[in-house]
Amino acid sequence: MSNYKELLQTAREFLKDNGIADADLDAWYLLAHVFGINRAGFFMYGNEEASMDKALLYKELIKKRALHIPLQYLTGTQEFMGLEFDVDENVLIPRQDTELLVEEVLKVCNNKSVLDVCTGSGCIIISLSKLGNLKKAIGTDISQKALQIANRNAKKLNADVNFIQGDLFERVVGNYDIIVSNPPYIRNEELKSLMPEVKDHEPKQALDGGPDGLIFYERIINDLHRYLNPGGYVYFEIGYDQGEAVKEMLYEAGLVDIIIKKDFNELDRIVYARKSF
């Protein structure tokens, strides 16, 4: 038998030995997840013996984390925009960078219809629905398994969002005031250089943006005029070096007021534009 402190220390050392960068944090998060204990409880009861069943579960999760399975897939959740989303290996894990995209859309989405293309876990459109005042909220994705997670998140968070399975606009009906997308944008050759947590465990379909990383921007922009209302906005998350390329595509498609926004690291992260009247 082991107490909480011993379990945590052993887990930290095991994760460090297996090259996990955030070994201390991850060992703690998994301990809190399995035992439902917070920092105060740990300091008060850290020397008490842990339940054998839960200790075995904790050790099993630590072994999986040592294999570089992402922490969020082990706990099954990820916080995004102050909301807790369910995640699994069928969806991309929501990132802090994507919160910038949501924050930009929130500035203009009051009483607007919004379409989220490549919705994945639904974190973008559900956050907009919960934190904004949308007239209509739709998310679309090609993956049925991803949409199962998105629907679960909408129900869990009591969000009024509908989801459509299809390849980009394939089954979309009607026009929207805002189209937002965080599409796959990693170049083919860059996939193999990503962290093991990403390249080996997150869905490749949600990462692979083709040879130049731009294939989905091209496809979405080519169809924008069929689905975006006059005066409406399109918002994209982009890779750090894709701002000018996406801006040029939007310009050639006749959109106006094109803006590139940087992230916290001063790298290009968001591009948005307006369809003229």
Residue 275 has a pLDDT of 96
Q: Whats the size of the chain, residue-wise?
A: 277
Residue 82 has a pLDDT of 97
Residue 277 has a pLDDT of 80
Burial 258-269 (b: 16+ CB within 10 A, else e): bebbebeeeebb
Which pTM was predicted?
A: 0.94
**Tokens read off for 130:** 């919960």
Residue 44 has a pLDDT of 87
- C-alpha 186, offset from chain centre: 14
Beta strand 228-237 with 268-274 is antiparallel
Mean pLDDT of 202-231: 95
Q: Per residue in 52-111, pLDDT tens?
A: 999 999 999 999 999 999 999 999 999 999 999 999 999 999 999 999 999 999 999 999
Q: At what angle do helices 243-252 and 215-227 cross, to 10 degrees?
A: 30
CATH architecture of 79-274: 3-Layer(aba) Sandwich (3.40)
Angle at CA 193, nearest 5°, toward 188 and 198?
90
Predicted confidence (pLDDT) at residue 158 exceeds the cutoff of 90: yes
Mean pLDDT of 152-176: 97
Domain extents in the chain = 4-67, 79-274
